[in-house]
Amino acid sequence: MSSKEFSFIGSLSIQDAIIFSKQVENCQKVLEFGCGASTQIIAQCSNKDSLIYSVDTNQKWMDGVKEFITNEMSINKNISFVSFENKNSIKEKDFDLIFDDGLAKNRLDFALWSWSKLKSNNGKLIIHDTRRPGEINLVSTIFQKYGNEISNISVNPNHSSLTIITKKELEPYSDWNVVEKRQSWMQSIFVDKRPENWKEIIKNKVNENYF
């Protein structure tokens, strides 16, 4: 369970809410697309002085969520509600967590737009509803485009409908045969000429690079 108690009303399963709350804990900067239940959890589980941006396509919905959090839940948090059309007005970067759960047709656009705003060292992009083909395709697109900046992808952990993509510092592609200075005999068992002490040579290379 989350170490912080929380309550919410909205379209998140209890399992999704628990996993999401654990990811939100101790976050200083949070950006989401699709306000509602997730906004309520962010308001309760993020740091007391955290910076929160909530993007949505429906102004009436944003107004309602803001009023609910302030009046019904009695939470006073620094939440900036921004329309999807005005998302470029958000200049903040290095978000600890970005949650993508808005209008389905705009989710990929939001994910691609927000990736550069995600903290490079262990920032988390969470996609909701990844038991649906469209959202899984979204995850695949993110991996194909930013694979060299991704350290881990956890798909629907613990029977949830969330996929958690963890970002890392960019690691440019390298030809490992060049980097490791691998000679032709190291690359195939069908090369006839290899040194008699080939086992020792390979073991030394492994030991030099073991982590």
Query: DSSP string covering 53-121, please?
Result: EEEES-HHHHHHHHHIIIIIS-----EEEEEGGGGGG-----BSEEEE-S-GGGHHHHHHHHGGGB-TT
Under 8 Å between Cβ of 162 and 145: no
Residue 1 maps to a domain: no
Amino acid at 60: K
Check residues 166 and 190 and name the one with the higher pLDDT: 166
Q: What is the pLDDT of residue 210?
A: 67
Q: What is the pLDDT of residue 139?
A: 98
Residues 55 and 73 in one domain: yes
Residue 134, domain extent: 14-167
Contacts of 50 (CB under 8 A, 6+ apart): 27, 28, 29, 30, 42, 77, 78
Residue 21 maps to a domain: yes
Residue 122 maps to a domain: yes
Residues 106 and 181 in one domain: no
Q: Assign 207 to helix, strand or coil.
A: helix
Dist CA 127 CA 118 (whole Å): 14
Whether the per-residue pLDDT at 211 is higher than 90: the answer is no
Residues 92 and 121 in one domain: yes
Whether the per-residue pLDDT at 193 is higher than 90: the answer is no
Residue 7 maps to a domain: no
Domains in the chain, number: 2
Residue 198 maps to a domain: yes
Check residues 94 and 179 and name the one with the higher pLDDT: 94
Output the six-digit token pair for 189: 């068992």
Report the CATH number that the domain containing residue 104 is assigned in CATH.
Answer: 3.40.50.150
Residues 18 and 95 in one domain: yes
Residue 205 maps to a domain: yes
Render pLDDT for 33-75 as a digit per residue (tens, 0 to 9). 999 999 999 999 999 999 999 999 999 999 999 999 999 999 9
Residues 99 and 190 in one domain: no
Residues 162 and 181 in one domain: no
Residues 135 and 197 in one domain: no
Residue 197 maps to a domain: yes
Render pLDDT for 75-88 as a digit per residue (tens, 0 to 9). 999 999 999 999 99
Under 8 Å between Cβ of 145 and 112: yes
Dist CA 53 CA 185 (whole Å): 56
Residues 46 and 100 in one domain: yes
The confidence band for 150, taking pLDDT boundaries of 50, 70 and 90, is: very high
What average pLDDT does range 140-167 have in this prediction?
97
Whether the per-residue pLDDT at 32 is higher than 70: the answer is yes
Residues 141 and 197 in one domain: no
Under 8 Å between Cβ of 23 and 129: no
> Shortest CA distance to 154 belongs to which of 163, 146, 145?
163
